[in-house]
Amino acid sequence: MTKAIVAGMAFLLAGISAQGATTDVELEAMKPNLRDFPSLQRGMTLYVNYCLGCHSLKFQRYERTADDLGIPHDVALGNLVFPGRARPAGMDGAAIGDLMQTAMPLERAKAWFGKPPPDLTMVDRVRGTAWIYNMLKGFYVDPTRPFGVNNRVFENIGMPHVLAGLQGVQRRVEMRPKSLDLLDGLDTLVRKRADGGYAKMATAADDSPATEDRLIRQPLVKYEVDPGTGSMSAAEFDQAAYDIANFLHYVGDPGRLERRQMGVWVLVFLAGLFVLATLLNREYHKDLHER
Ligand code: HEC
């Protein structure tokens, strides 16, 4: 019986962990930071300028977003809420209380892109923040695709590289090994990875002690930006991609910040309650001993 329960739990856990894996491609680590307000503010600015034209955030209001991220209403209205964009076509003006909708007509978007750009309110929860970060950095030149670009993380994506002006033209450079001995010797196993690169599998012949089944990753594909084609340096663009992904992480669950603060108060309350309960307990015991 115990065995059956353990097996059942292992099965469930395996299901949970498999769910998170949406891609085989190795992702560069990225940790969102909801305390980094400047990053979230830059992320919102970039989002409104480069993404909202196609992707709505239909569960998100400008007002709440501005409040959460510490942006004064007049600054948000003057710089982030574009007239005609926040409201469906035909309605004039835009108010701070509006939902962050796109003005793009759905039917035409379908014709332009094959499928309409999805709403991104929940994308962080479905794909993960690191996935978004890597995807934004992952566009590379591919003349066989309709927009001339493909994506390292999202193969055959139907979205143009809207940040190309910032990042520049990125190319995928493949370095196929001419022969196995390029990868040090005959007792080395090589396997092809999902992203087209090769990984060297460590063998017992390696000197380092912990090599048994460790994989030594040897990417033979690299991505290079043509110098001078983007307005940002590599580090600046990394930061921009980080800021957008960080902002989408906030959007995926705007209550997160509040909950954390509330959690602290709940703990303070419980600590207070513990003191009172201990004192009461002592009083009761006093009575018991007196009898
Ligand atoms: C010109 C329109 C357009 C713009 C601008 C645009 N996208 Fe997209 N995006 C699309 C389309 C179309 C898709 C669907 C692609 C597909 O499924 O093949 C997409 C897909 C995505 C996805 C994947 C959604 C999913 O889970 O399948 C993400 C994430 C995304 N876009 C983020 C962004 C971000 C961030 C920006 C701003 C930097 C942006 N997009 C700007 C058109 C656009």
Q: Which domain holds residue 207?
A: 176-219
Is 82 within a domain? no
Is 238 within a domain? no
Is 197 within a domain? yes
Q: pTM of the entire structure?
A: 0.76
8 A C-beta contact, residue 243 and residue 38: no
What is the CA(33)–ligand 1 centre distance, in A? 23
Question: Average model confidence (pLDDT) for the chain?
Answer: 81
- Number of domains, the chain: 1
Residue 254, C-beta contacts closer than 8 angstroms, at least 6 positions apart:
60, 64, 65, 68
Is 162 within a domain? no
Tokens of 89: 């076509």
What is the CA(221)–ligand 1 centre distance, in A? 25
Q: Is 85 in the pocket of ligand 1 (CB under 6 A)?
A: no
Pocket test for ligand 1, best of 54, 56, 142 (most atoms within 8 A of CB): 54
Bridge partners of residue 274, in order along the sequence = none
Q: Is 117 in the pocket of ligand 1 (CB under 6 A)?
A: yes
Query: H or E element: which one contains 224?
Result: strand 221-225
The rounded distance, in Å, linking the Cα atoms of 46 and 117 is: 17
The winner for highest mean pLDDT among 21-25, 80-84, 182-186, 201-205 is 80-84
8 A C-beta contact, residue 246 and residue 43: yes
Q: Is 158 in the pocket of ligand 1 (CB under 6 A)?
A: yes
Is 10 within a domain? no
What's the pLDDT tens digit per position in 32-87? 999 999 999 999 999 999 999 999 999 999 999 999 999 999 899 888 887 544 45
If you average pLDDT over residues 116-133, what whole number do you get?
Answer: 96
What's the pLDDT tens digit per position in 89-117? 555 556 888 889 887 888 888 888 888 89
